[in-house]
Amino acid sequence: MLRYIATRLALAIPTLLAISFLVFFAAYLSPADPVDIKLGQRAAPEVKARVRHELGLDRPPLVRYGDYVWKIVRYGDFGTSYTTGEPVTAFVRRSFPNTAVLATLALITSLVVGIPLGIASAVYANRLLDRVAMGAALAGVAIPSFVLGPVLVLLVAVRANLLPVTGFSLGDGLTQPRFFVLPVLVLAARSMALIARLTRSAMLDVLGQDYIRTARAKGLSAGAVLFKHALKNAFPPILTVAGTTFGYLLSGSFVVETFFTIPGIGNQSIASIEARDYPVIQGLTLLLAATFVLINLIVDILYGLLDPRARVAGVGVSGPRAAAGRSEGA
Amino acid sequence: MPGVLREQLPIEPPTLDPAMTQDVFTGEMLQNAYEGLLGWNTKNELTPRIAMALPTLSADRKTYTFTLRSDAKFANGRTITAEDVKYSFTRALDPKLASPVAMSYLNDIQGAKAVADGKATELAGVKVLSPASLQITLVAPRAYFLQKLTYPTGYVVPKEGIAKGPKSAAGALTIGPENAAETASGPFKITSYERQSKVVLEPNEHYWGGKPKLTRIERPIVLDSKTAVNLYQTGRLDIVINLQQSDYTSLKNDPAFASDLHLFTRAATWYMAVNPTQYKPFADKRVRQAVAYAVDKQSIVKNVTASVFLPATGVLPPGVPGYAPTLTGYPYDLEKAKKLLAEAGYPGGKGLPTIHILFPEKQSDFTRPVEVLREQLGAVGFPVELNEMEHGAFLKALHNRQFDLAYGAWYADYLDPQDFLSLLFRSDAPENETGYSNPAFDALCAQADGEPDQAKRRSLYAKADSILVDDIPWVPIAYGRDVELDKPYVSGIQDALMSHLPHYTTAVR
Chosen for mutation from A33, A46, A47 (greatest number of chain B CBs closer than 10 Å) is: A47
pLDDT confidence band for A318 (50 / 70 / 90): very low
Q: What is the DSSP letter of B487?
A: -
Q: What is the mean pLDDT of residues A19-27?
A: 89
Question: Could you say which of B198, B234, B392 has the minimum Cβ distance to residue A165?
Answer: B234
- Full-model pTM: 0.85
Distance from the B422 Cα atom to the nearest Cα atom in chain A, whole angstroms: 15
**Per the CB < 8 Å rule, is A44 touching B103?**
yes
**Rounded Cα–Cα distance for residues B308 and B245 (Å):** 7
Which residue in chain A has the smallest CA separation from B20?
A39
Distance from the A259 Cα atom to the nearest Cα atom in chain B, whole angstroms: 6
Say what the pLDDT of residue A329 is. Answer: 32
Say what the pLDDT of residue A326 is. Answer: 36
- CA distances (Å), origin B350, targets A258, B335, B379, B384: 48, 16, 13, 13
Give exposure, A240-262, as e/b (b: 16+ Cβ within 10 Å): bbbbbbbbbbbbbbbbbbbbbbb
**pLDDT tens per residue across span A259-270:** 888 888 988 998
Distance from the A226 Cα atom to the nearest Cα atom in chain B, whole angstroms: 45
Instruction: Residue A147: list chain B partners with CB under 8 A.
Output: none
Residue B318 CB: number of other CB atoms within 10 A? 15
- CA distances (Å), origin B5, targets A248, B168, B214, B353, B487: 38, 30, 7, 54, 10
- CA distances (Å), origin A138, targets A131, A223, B64, B254: 10, 28, 73, 34
**pLDDT tens per residue across span A159-208:** 888 888 887 654 455 567 788 889 999 999 999 999 999 999 988 988 88
**Rounded Cα–Cα distance for residues B340 and A283 (Å):** 55
Say what the pLDDT of residue A312 is. Answer: 59
End-to-end CA distance of chain A: 29
**Per the CB < 8 Å rule, is A36 touching B396?**
yes
Instruction: Residue B168: list chain A partners with CB under 8 A.
Output: 85
Give exposure, B262-298, as e/b (b: 16+ Cβ within 10 Å): eebbbbbbbbbbbbbebbebbebebbbbbbbbbbbbe
**Per the CB < 8 Å rule, is A164 touching B234?**
yes
pLDDT confidence band for A322 (50 / 70 / 90): very low
Say what the pLDDT of residue A324 is. Answer: 41
Q: Does A153 touch chain B (CB under 8 A)?
A: yes
Contact between A139 and A231 under an 8 Å Cβ cutoff? The reply is no
Q: Does A54 touch chain B (CB under 8 A)?
A: yes
Q: B193: closest CA among B168, B173, B218?
A: B218
Dihedral sign, CA of B422, B424, B426, B430?
positive
Q: How far is CA B130 from the centre of its chain?
A: 34
Instruction: Residue A94: list chain B partners with CB under 8 A.
Output: 195-196
Question: Could you say which of A94, A153, A276 has the minimum Cβ distance to residue B392?
Answer: A276
User: Which residues, including other chains, have CB under 8 Å from residue A93's CB and lie 6 or more apart?
Assistant: none
Which 3-state string (H, E, C) describes B178-210?
A: CCHHHHCCCCEEEEEEECCCEEEEEECCCCCCC
Instruction: Residue A85: list chain B partners with CB under 8 A.
Output: 166-170, 174
pLDDT confidence band for A328 (50 / 70 / 90): very low
Distance from the A43 Cα atom to the nearest Cα atom in chain B, whole angstroms: 6
* ipTM entry: 0.76
Contact between B321 and B412 under an 8 Å Cβ cutoff? The reply is no
Instruction: Residue B221: list chain A partners with CB under 8 A.
Output: 261
Question: Could you say which of B95, B174, B196 has the minimum Cβ distance to residue A50?
Answer: B95
Which residue in chain B has the smallest CA separation from A275?
B14
Which residue in chain A has the smallest CA separation from B233?
A158
Which residue in chain A has the smallest CA separation from B395?
A41
Chosen for mutation from A48, A53, A80, A84 (greatest number of chain B CBs closer than 10 Å) is: A84
Asked if pLDDT for residue A37 goes beyond 80, the answer is no
Say what the pLDDT of residue B393 is. Answer: 81
Q: Does A38 touch chain B (CB under 8 A)?
A: yes
Question: Could you say which of A43, A50, A157 has the minimum Cβ distance to residue B230?
Answer: A157
Q: B172: closest CA among B303, B15, B311, B27?
A: B15
A-B CB pairs within 8 A amount to 139
Say what the pLDDT of residue A252 is. Answer: 58
Residues in chain B: 509
Per-position pLDDT tens, chain B of length 509: 899 999 999 988 989 999 999 888 999 999 999 999 999 999 999 999 999 999 999 999 999 999 999 999 999 999 999 999 999 999 999 988 888 889 889 999 999 999 998 899 999 999 999 999 999 999 999 999 999 999 999 999 999 999 999 987 667 899 999 999 999 999 999 999 988 889 999 999 999 999 999 999 999 999 888 899 999 999 999 999 999 888 898 899 988 899 999 999 999 999 999 999 999 999 999 999 999 999 999 999 999 998 999 999 999 999 999 999 999 889 999 999 999 999 999 999 999 999 999 999 878 889 899 999 999 999 999 999 999 988 778 888 898 899 999 999 999 999 999 999 999 999 998 889 999 999 999 999 999 998 989 999 999 999 999 999 999 999 999 999 999 999 999 999 999 999 999 999 999 99
Q: B434: closest CA among B276, B270, B272?
A: B276
Chosen for mutation from A50, A147, A170 (greatest number of chain B CBs closer than 10 Å) is: A170
Q: A47: closest CA among B397, B396, B115, B168?
A: B115
Query: Where are the alpha helices (H) located in B268-390, listed in sequence order?
Result: 285-294, 297-299, 334-343, 364-380
| Planar angle of CA B487, A163, B483, nearest 5 degrees | 30
**Per the CB < 8 Å rule, is B224 touching A170?**
no
Q: What is the mean pLDDT of residues A101-119?
A: 92
Chosen for mutation from B224, B363, B391 (greatest number of chain A CBs closer than 10 Å) is: B224
Contact between A52 and A64 under an 8 Å Cβ cutoff? The reply is no
A101 phi and psi angles, rounded to 5 deg: -60, -50
Instruction: Residue B118: list chain A partners with CB under 8 A.
Output: 50
Instruction: Residue A157: list chain B partners with CB under 8 A.
Output: 230, 234
Distance from the A167 Cα atom to the nearest Cα atom in chain B, whole angstroms: 11
Question: Could you say which of B95, B104, B223 has the minimum Cβ distance to residue A42?
Answer: B104
Q: Does A157 touch chain B (CB under 8 A)?
A: yes
Question: Could you say which of B14, B95, B230 has the minimum Cβ distance to residue A275?
Answer: B14
Contact between B239 and B486 under an 8 Å Cβ cutoff? The reply is yes
Q: Does A45 touch chain B (CB under 8 A)?
A: no
**Per the CB < 8 Å rule, is B197 touching A170?**
yes
**Rounded Cα–Cα distance for residues A252 and B388 (Å):** 26
User: Which residues, including other chains, have CB under 8 Å from residue B113's CB and lie 6 or more apart?
Assistant: B103, B107
Q: Does A210 touch chain B (CB under 8 A)?
A: no
Question: Could you say which of A40, A153, A264 has the minimum Cβ distance to residue B100?
Answer: A40
**Per the CB < 8 Å rule, is B223 touching A271?**
yes
Which residue in chain A has the smallest CA separation from B392?
A32
